[in-house]
Amino acid sequence: MANSIGNIFRFTIWGQSHAPAIGVTMEGLPAGIKIDQEKLQSFLDRRRPGQNKYSTPRKESDTAEFIAGLNPDGLTCGSPVTAVIKNSNTKSSDYSELEYIPRPGHSDYPAMIRYGAGRDFAGGGQFSGRLTAPLCIAGGVCLQILEAMNIRISARAVMIGGKTEETAMLEAIENARAEGDSVGGIVECVIEGLPAGIGEPMFDGMESRIAQTVFGIPAVKGVEFGNGFGCAALRGSENNDAFSYNGGSVITKTNNHGGILGGITSSMPIVFRAAFKPTPSIAKEQDSININTAENVKLSVKGRHDPCIVLRAVPCVEAAAAAAVYDEILMAKASGFEAF
Amino acid sequence: MANSIGNIFRFTIWGQSHAPAIGVTMEGLPAGIKIDQEKLQSFLDRRRPGQNKYSTPRKESDTAEFIAGLNPDGLTCGSPVTAVIKNSNTKSSDYSELEYIPRPGHSDYPAMIRYGAGRDFAGGGQFSGRLTAPLCIAGGVCLQILEAMNIRISARAVMIGGKTEETAMLEAIENARAEGDSVGGIVECVIEGLPAGIGEPMFDGMESRIAQTVFGIPAVKGVEFGNGFGCAALRGSENNDAFSYNGGSVITKTNNHGGILGGITSSMPIVFRAAFKPTPSIAKEQDSININTAENVKLSVKGRHDPCIVLRAVPCVEAAAAAAVYDEILMAKASGFEAF
Amino acid sequence: MANSIGNIFRFTIWGQSHAPAIGVTMEGLPAGIKIDQEKLQSFLDRRRPGQNKYSTPRKESDTAEFIAGLNPDGLTCGSPVTAVIKNSNTKSSDYSELEYIPRPGHSDYPAMIRYGAGRDFAGGGQFSGRLTAPLCIAGGVCLQILEAMNIRISARAVMIGGKTEETAMLEAIENARAEGDSVGGIVECVIEGLPAGIGEPMFDGMESRIAQTVFGIPAVKGVEFGNGFGCAALRGSENNDAFSYNGGSVITKTNNHGGILGGITSSMPIVFRAAFKPTPSIAKEQDSININTAENVKLSVKGRHDPCIVLRAVPCVEAAAAAAVYDEILMAKASGFEAF
Amino acid sequence: MANSIGNIFRFTIWGQSHAPAIGVTMEGLPAGIKIDQEKLQSFLDRRRPGQNKYSTPRKESDTAEFIAGLNPDGLTCGSPVTAVIKNSNTKSSDYSELEYIPRPGHSDYPAMIRYGAGRDFAGGGQFSGRLTAPLCIAGGVCLQILEAMNIRISARAVMIGGKTEETAMLEAIENARAEGDSVGGIVECVIEGLPAGIGEPMFDGMESRIAQTVFGIPAVKGVEFGNGFGCAALRGSENNDAFSYNGGSVITKTNNHGGILGGITSSMPIVFRAAFKPTPSIAKEQDSININTAENVKLSVKGRHDPCIVLRAVPCVEAAAAAAVYDEILMAKASGFEAF
């Protein structure tokens, strides 16, 4: 069930870039929760395109409209909650060339093979980065619920185009844009306020579920927790985090484990990083094929594309983390563990 | 449901290190498949402890016994297949000290909090690396099925203790062992023979599902595909893989995407890496706490522990990948896509 | 996850009677399927209210609008398919009295307890019979797919108000309506064209899954297959259906088993019946309580209500059966069974 | 996933009649629960064969052995709980005739078609009534947990061979046995002590989930709640149950709704009935086919078979109900509803 995730808080993302709408249906939200729609919209606006020169000029208001699941007072009613975003600013003509010529680095080719005549290729169809907007609705709702539990999730870009300092990162984007190229980067996310004991021991472990959700964001090619790949050069005596009493509470003196041990939270902040590949759609000429004529061709991608999606991906990473964490909390509760 | 994974080929791992048995129950295997139990046992032997000086001296025959799901001819009968491994060589006394003193870097502390009086701490309980044996049974069965479809999965250690050359890696392990310490490392896995079109577009994408499964292996702290974290320093023009006709078939000239685009296979080999932290159980003295007396204490872990689990983890990574890939193939088939 | 059902073809129904919309999101439909929207609308019209004197005068056009999952050619694109029906003709004022006074026989009281302040009671909220419209969309799509496989599903009312003959059934409804009362009935459904071998041996058996789906229709209080409750008075020699060759194909001489043995189809027609209780909302004065004042009160339900929902339920039963059967076919296929 | 059921308390039944073992794996049990194994065994003994002249003479000790999921103190440890029953008294030779000749009324024919060469036909394989023993383990564990919450589940035979009085029911069985025949019957189950508000509004409604589970018991052909099929002859004014205050608590004056409204409990006892067909395996000569020779043949079933499984099915119905109800309670809790 590719577009759904979650055991108790379970949401399904649907829609395509140029369909009438995109949206999300959420199951498992408790009844009686007030969703602050204005605050949610502010969150959505962080990933919205067309806001600055670092992102695609496609302008979408991306307004989330709740069409089901709320009662007249705006409280969740215990039924699935469905929110839609209408697609307005679609320019399918930009894509006509791409029906048979797959963009290198993009999902075009696998989609051609997989969906055949059913494929909806305009605007990237179901593979469009636009589908992260409904992810941000689901995750944004979770962020509000988590915030009320004093759990805070915050992400930021820590590398773009090989640069780790803000000015250099923006410069890297601008340079790429100027040259019809793109750059990748790394987003780091920190989750604070989770008590110890949340998460499951194996495939629904905190790492498994965060990773599964974050890899659902287009362009993510790596996820690591705590020391991550750095562990491979360390010894246990360096990487282990010593436990200690800090007043009445248990802490670890360092946080190489990134807040998760055996799939379960330790009460230390969860720290993880996601690697994003450079946007595959670039103006620079590339080698590709035409699967209709079965010839090798040259391709220069037209249309409105981000030279770097890392900045817009920051709220998406927060959203993915929030959805995963909230479901873990509900699973822990369902299994009889009361931490709150 | 922490110990289960899969949409169509769905397996559940159960057991604890010192329970009567560990095992696995597999649903979704087609009827009429011959499982080569001898070959499976050879595969299991690759992760078995006590084989050489680089791993724990605990000796277990780790024989998989199929108690359900096969007919008298040894063919799958269409019912769930259950295999068990009896636990024989348990020395619980080694663990008595650990009831209240969590080992740094280990799941002990979260497990104490989460499971309370129910916790089974002997031998690490359900968090023991022994639970990767039933994973290898499930994955080993999948490997046989995939092999018959000409899909080959092969993993190897590419870094241990910061070293990338075989002699240096073994030396790093040996040095760590001699000093009562441990080392981490990286396993790289290659999956060849998958046609284009396998995988789902979002949370059941090939990356999502491989990552979720691989993070279920204890000690994994990072997973990356293709260029992975390396993407963050690249431009689109460097990272994109050009399509080209190679005779009648479509290839990419490079494989920076690691065989997956938009969650779906491109027909190029899938390449991914998993980072393993150093074994947390080390003889070296460490700082910890006693949650019974609420005091800070010193701890030196006794018992039989691997100075490095990376080598034994190699078949586990293959098993996790095989289970994820096989389920993806079945999902593609269920959705009407016929690639085989 | 209450509002979702299915293992491979999985759909989620959402919305409330007086929310902006009701709708359904379907996952697992193969790409490239043409949905005949006109034909689907004709199917939906069979359950639409306000068509004759036997049903509620509430008039809704109940037009299904596909907002996601179809490509510009109207083919399924492999992404979830979402269809909505806008709610237009809502008269919430009819319901203001019912906020604290539960209607006997209705879901009001459990809903008050379960959802508290979140409850959306106008028009029955998520418990409204209106929610069978999205069920009919999901089932209607399945009916089209099944029809193309030569599988035909057809239901009809076989008893209403204790009567089994058409004129008498309609008279029973008319009499009940005239007296401000309502009547229940039985719908029988026949599924023809399924080959032997479809269904699973236990909790996803054909009976289990049809029953689970049909009990999701409000007011259903019983489901039986073949001889059903009649079995309790029979001997094996009477109830067993003898196998026989009929030309080259295997039949049973009788069909007391209703086409299902061990949860799996026998190739004989599936025959099942669903019992519907009388519409609980009646004009006749009834005893109830006011949970706000904690007093016993008298209640006479105002508003637009069906004196009998059995006739409108007929397409709903077909829809439920179609969704269950189609998912069983996909499960059989996923498990390697090729019957088509 | 045919052999698994449950959203939070999820169990998988595995094994075949003549495999080394049958068993069950349960996920979602809270940690720290003491399972009274002696009491569980007494419960299992109620369905055990070979106890009196009314059931098959096959003797099995049917001892449940817990091999995973309990800690050394016998408490659930938070990991899946696996229990096995070894198969000992197997006489496969009784079945050799049945490889190609399907028994009328039995799953043989669909199983031949579905599983082909993989089919395990000895003793009925996975379709054997023996598989209800692991169901009774899972349900028996739930019964203990529910009992501690003051929820009591109790079933009894209310009709056998058309008779409703105990002596007459036993006589009907004895007569059938004497004539090489069998009889069906009805089991009624009552669930007391559930507060209002448990259950979900649609496909996971109390009726949907109890029905799905109960239809998983071989031979069940009908399930009805409260007035059930009797509703079809009633008017709303007769069938509706008036609400009333009884001291401080809300009751209904009658219980025609069987304790469930809109899929959710009303606090009145849940009452449901399950119809069982007569045991298909009878000694009397019947018409069948030989699928090997493609000829019509005569068949008289040898071996040890119950002339009536209704009495042994009573604890199975309690077990199925308990598993469904416990999962509903966990779902309600997971959705934020606190009734206990």
- The answer to whether residue A50 scores a pLDDT higher than 80 is no
Sheet containing C65-68, strands listed edge to edge, beginning at the edge strand earlier in sequence: C4-5, C10-15, C21-27, C81-86, C65-68
Give the C-alpha separation, B222 to A222, whole Å.
7
Output the pLDDT for position D61: 76
The DSSP code sequence of B176-240 is HHHTT--B-EEEEEEEE-PPTT-S-SSTTSHHHHHHHHHTTSTTEEEEEETTGGGGGG-BHHHH-
Three-state SS string over chain D comes to CCCEECCCCEEEEEECCCCCEEEEEEECCCCCCECCHHHHHHHHHCCCCCCCCCCCCCCCCCCCEEEECECCCCEECCCCEEEEEECCCCCHHHHHHHHCCCCCCCCHHHHHHHHHHHCCCHHHHHHCHHHHHHHHHHHHHHHHHHHHCCCEEEEEEEEECCECCHHHHHHHHHHHHHCCCCECEEEEEEEECCCCCCCCCCCCCHHHHHHHHHCCCCCEEEEEECCHHHHHHCEHHHHCCCEEEECCEEEECCCCCCCEECCEECCCCEEEEEEECCCCCCCCCEEEEECCCCEEEEECCCCCCCCCCHHHHHHHHHHHHHHHHHHHHHHHHHCCCCCC
Chain C, window 94-153: residues with a beta carbon less than 8 angstroms from a chain A beta carbon: 114-120, 122, 125-126
C296 and D160: CB-CB below 8 Å? no
Query: 3-class DSSP state for residue A177?
Result: helix
pLDDT by residue (tens digit) across D291-320? Answer: 999 999 999 988 767 899 999 999 999 999
Q: Name the helix (H) or strand (E) containing A291.
A: none
Written as six digits, the tokens of A120 are 């909806």
CB contact under 8 A, B67 and D20: yes
pLDDT band with cut points at 50, 70 and 90 for residue D267: very high
Whole-angstrom distance, CA of residue C203 vs CA of residue C212: 10
Residue A340: is it exposed, middle or buried by C-beta count within 10 angstroms (0-12/13-18/19+)? exposed
Q: C46-50, D64-68, D331-335: which has the minimum mean pLDDT?
A: C46-50
- Average pLDDT taken over every residue of chain D: 94
Split at pLDDT 50, 70, 90, the class of C340 is confident
> Is D12 exposed, middle or buried (CB count within 10 Å of its CB: 0-12, 13-18, 19+)?
buried
pLDDT in tens, C255-270: 999 999 999 999 999 9
Mean of pLDDT values over C135-152 = 98
Q: Which of A90-104, B323-337, C243-257, D105-119 has the lowest mean pLDDT?
A: A90-104
How much is the mean pLDDT over chain C?
Answer: 94
What's the distance, Cα to Cα, between the start and end of chain C in Å? 31
Mean pLDDT over C209-228 rounds to 98
Q: Is C148 exposed, middle or buried (0-12, 13-18, 19+ CB in 10 A)?
A: exposed
> Which pLDDT belongs to residue C302?
81
Count of residues in chain B: 340
Please compute the mean of the pLDDT values over residues A198-210 and round it to a whole number: 97
N- to C-terminal Cα separation, chain B: 31
SS (H, E, C) A57-82: CCCCCCCCEEEECECCCCEECCCCEE
Quick one: tokens of B203?
């949370």
* Residue scoring higher pLDDT (C50 or D329): D329
Name the residue facing A334 among D78, D79, D334 (closest C-beta). D334
Binned at pLDDT 50, 70 and 90, residue C91 comes out as: low
Q: What is d(CA A273, CA A157) in angstroms, rounded to the nearest whole number?
A: 9
Put simply, the chain B residues between 190 and 249 with a CB less than 8 A from any chain D CB are none
Q: How far apart are CA A61 and CA A43, in angstroms?
A: 13
**What gap in Å lies between CA D235 and CA D30, rounded to an integer?**
45
pLDDT of residue D95: 61
- Cβ distance D79 to B3 less than 8 Å, yes or no, reads yes
**Whether the predicted pLDDT of C1 surpasses 90:** no
Question: Could you report the per-residue pLDDT of A279-329, keeping only the tens digit for each?
Answer: 999 999 999 999 999 999 999 988 767 899 999 999 999 999 999 999 999
pLDDT at A25: 98
Q: Which long-range contacts (CB under 8 A, 24 or more apart) does A96-101 make?
A: A97/A302, A98/A301, A99/A292, A100/A290, A100/A291, A100/A292, A100/A293, A101/A288, A101/A289, A101/A290, A101/A291, A101/A297, A101/A299
Q: What is the mean pLDDT of residues D64-85?
A: 97
- Nearest-angstrom CA–CA distance, B282 and B299: 10
Instruction: Residue window 62-91, chain A: list those with CB within 8 Å of chain D.
Output: 78-79
Give the model's pLDDT for residue B56: 60
CA distance linking residue C2 with residue A2, whole number of Å: 19
D52 has a pLDDT exceeding 90: no
- pLDDT attached to residue C122: 87
Select from A335, A337, A338, A340 the residue whose CB has the most chain D CBs within 10 Å, as the one to mutate to test that interface: A335
Residue D180's region, left for phi above 0, alpha for psi from -120 to 50, else beta, is left
With tokens 């078609």, the residue in question is: D113
Q: What value does the mean pLDDT take over residues A167-196?
A: 97
The mean pLDDT value of chain B amounts to 93
Confidence of residue C61 (pLDDT cuts 50, 70, 90): confident
- Picking from A174, A224, A201, A239, the residue whose alpha carbon sits closest to that of residue A332 is A201
Question: Which of A78, A330, A335 is opposite residue D30, by nearest beta carbon?
Answer: A335
At B340 the pLDDT is 80
Q: Of the candidates D231, D132, D165, D274, which has an alpha carbon nearest to the alpha carbon of residue C232?
A: D274
Q: Output the pLDDT for position C37.
A: 96
Chain A closest-CA separation from residue B33 CA (Å): 26
Question: pLDDT-derived band of residue A89, with 50, 70 and 90 as boundaries?
Answer: low
Dihedral of CA A169/A172/A174/A180: which sign?
negative
d(CA C216, CA D205) in angstroms, rounded, equals: 7
Encode pLDDT of B58-102 as tens digits.
Answer: 566 789 999 999 999 999 999 999 999 999 866 556 567 778 999
Quick one: pLDDT at residue C96?
Answer: 72
The answer to whether residue D57 scores a pLDDT higher than 60 is no
Question: A250-259, B18-27, B117-126: which range is least confident on average?
Answer: B117-126
Question: Which of C335, C338, C340 is the best mutation test for B, with the most CBs of B within 10 A?
Answer: C335
**Predicted confidence (pLDDT) per residue in B270-296, tens digit:** 999 999 999 999 999 999 999 999 999
Whether B334 and chain C come into contact, CB under 8 Å, resolves to: yes
Strand ordering across the sheet containing D185-192: C152-160, C185-192, C270-276, C220-225, D220-225, D270-276, D185-192, D152-160
User: Could you tell me the pLDDT band of residue D54, with boundaries at 50, 70 and 90?
Assistant: low
**pLDDT of the residue at D303:** 73
> For residue C153, is pLDDT > 70?
yes
Q: What residue type is assigned to position B244 of the chain?
A: S
Most confident of A47-56, A295-304, C37-46: C37-46
Tens of pLDDT, residues A135-149: 999 999 999 999 999
Q: Which residues of A touch B211 (CB under 8 A)?
A: 208, 211-212, 215, 223
Q: What is the pLDDT of residues D92-116, one digit of tens each?
A: 565 677 789 999 999 999 999 999 9
Averaged pLDDT for residues B246-264: 96
- Residues C277-299 have pLDDT tens digits of 999 999 999 999 999 999 999 99
Quickly state the pLDDT bin for D234 (edges 50, 70, 90). very high
Least confident span in A119-128, B165-174, B231-240: A119-128
Q: Which of residues 285-314 of C touch D (CB under 8 A)?
A: 286-289, 291, 294-296
DSSP letters, A186-252, are EEEEEEE-PPTT-S-SSTTSHHHHHHHHHTTSTTEEEEEETTGGGGGG-BHHHHS--EEEETTEEEE
Query: Which pair of structure tokens corresponds to residue D305?
Result: 């078979």
Query: Which chain A residues are within 8 Å of D328, Cβ to Cβ?
Result: none
**Is the CB of B201 less than 8 angstroms away from the CB of C78?**
yes
pLDDT of residue D93: 60
Nearest CA distance, B233 vs chain D (angstrom): 42
**pLDDT for A60:** 65
Contacts of C31 in chain B (CB under 8 A): 335-337
Q: What is the ipTM of this complex?
A: 0.96
Each residue of A215-241: pLDDT tens digit? 999 999 999 999 999 999 999 999 999
- Partners of residue C284 in chain D, C-beta under 8 Å: 236-237
Interchain CB contacts (distance < 8 Å): C and D? 382
The Cα A71–Cα C16 span in angstroms is 9
